[in-house]
């Protein structure tokens, strides 16, 4: 039996640190749902990624809030996809959203893709790497200006390269 939580339950689960892998449509990984420039077999992904990276990037899980050191990263540099190295966000667009996940108000041009996500019972916009299709997080319309967007990313899905 599958339980579809309402918004309040879903937020309570996240606040409690529940991390549940959620698979892409048709039971496949994000990369199987669409063709991306960087392709690897599932065995190659498992070999390349840590278990936490694999759960988030390939199974669309969510890391616990406040668990990633990248949430507190303040240096100048670039945040990249942990799966393929694609440059995703400049540190100049990072801000403290108070959510416990690294947040940005704008991605680098062409770095990400989005799709509608209804997995927890209400519509959200999922963010994935434009090069490998790895799940990064979600984007919300409650961020700072100039975009008004909050790209709320899983830190485990990214690496940081200092300037």
Domains of the chain with CATH codes: 21-162 (2.170.150.20)
What digits encode the pLDDT tens for the residues 104-142? 999 999 999 999 988 888 899 999 999 999 999 999 999
DSSP code for 39? -
Q: Which of 81, 84, 132, 152 is catalytic?
A: 152
Residue with more model confidence, 118 or 92: 92
Per the structure block, which two tokens stand in for 147?
């975009």
pTM of the model: 0.79
Return the pLDDT at 35. Answer: 83
Distances (CA, A) of 161 to 69, 70, 73, 158: 13, 11, 11, 10
Return the pLDDT at 15. Answer: 53
**The dihedral formed by the CA atoms of 7, 9, 12 and 13, expressed in degrees to the nearest 10:** -110
Q: Is 152 a catalytic residue?
A: yes
**Beta strand pairing call for 103-104 and 150-153:** antiparallel
């Amino acid at each position: 039996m599958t339980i579809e939580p309402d918004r309040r339950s879903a937020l309570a689960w996240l606040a409690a640190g529940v991390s549940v892998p959620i698979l892409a449509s048709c039971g496949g990984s994000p990369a199987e749902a669409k063709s991306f420039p960087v392709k690897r077999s599932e065995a190659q992904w498992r070999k390349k990624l840590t278990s936490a990276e694999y759960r988030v990037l390939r199974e669309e899980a969510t890391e616990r809030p406040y668990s990633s050191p990248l949430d507190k990263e303040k240096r100048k540099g670039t945040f990249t996809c942990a799966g393929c190295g694609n440059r995703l966000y400049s540190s100049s667009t990072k801000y403290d959203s108070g959510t416990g996940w690294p947040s940005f108000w704008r991605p680098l041009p062409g770095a990400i893709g989005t799709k509608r996500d209804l997995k927890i019972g209400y519509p959200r916009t999922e963010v994935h790497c434009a090069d490998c299709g790895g799940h990064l997080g979600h984007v919300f319309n409650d961020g700072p200006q100039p975009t008004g967007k909050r790209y709320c990313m899983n830190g485990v899905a990214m690496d940081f390269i200092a300037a």
